[in-house]
Amino acid sequence: MEKEKIERINFLARKQRESGLTDEEKAEQAALREEYILGFRASIRGIMDNTYIQYPDGTKKKVQRGKPPTKH
Write the DSSP string, 41-64: HHHHHHHHHT-EEEPTTS-EEEPP
Is residue 70 a part of any domain in this protein? no
CA distance 9 to 32: 7
Return the pLDDT at 52: 93
Residues 14-58 have pLDDT tens digits of: 999 999 999 999 999 999 999 999 999 999 999 999 999 999 999
How far are the Cα atoms of 52, 54, 61, 63 from residue 70, in angstroms, in the given order? Answer: 13, 12, 10, 10
Residue-number span of the structural domain to which 14 is assigned: 3-62
**What is the mean pLDDT of the segment spanning 2-21?**
95
pLDDT in tens, 22-33: 999 999 999 999
In contact, 52 and 61? CB cutoff 8 Å: yes
Query: What is the number of structural domains in the chain?
Result: 1
CATH of the domain at 8: 1.10.287.540
Q: In whole numbers, what is the pLDDT of the chain averaged over residues?
A: 91
Question: Rounded to whole angstroms, how far apart are CA atoms 16 and 27?
Answer: 12
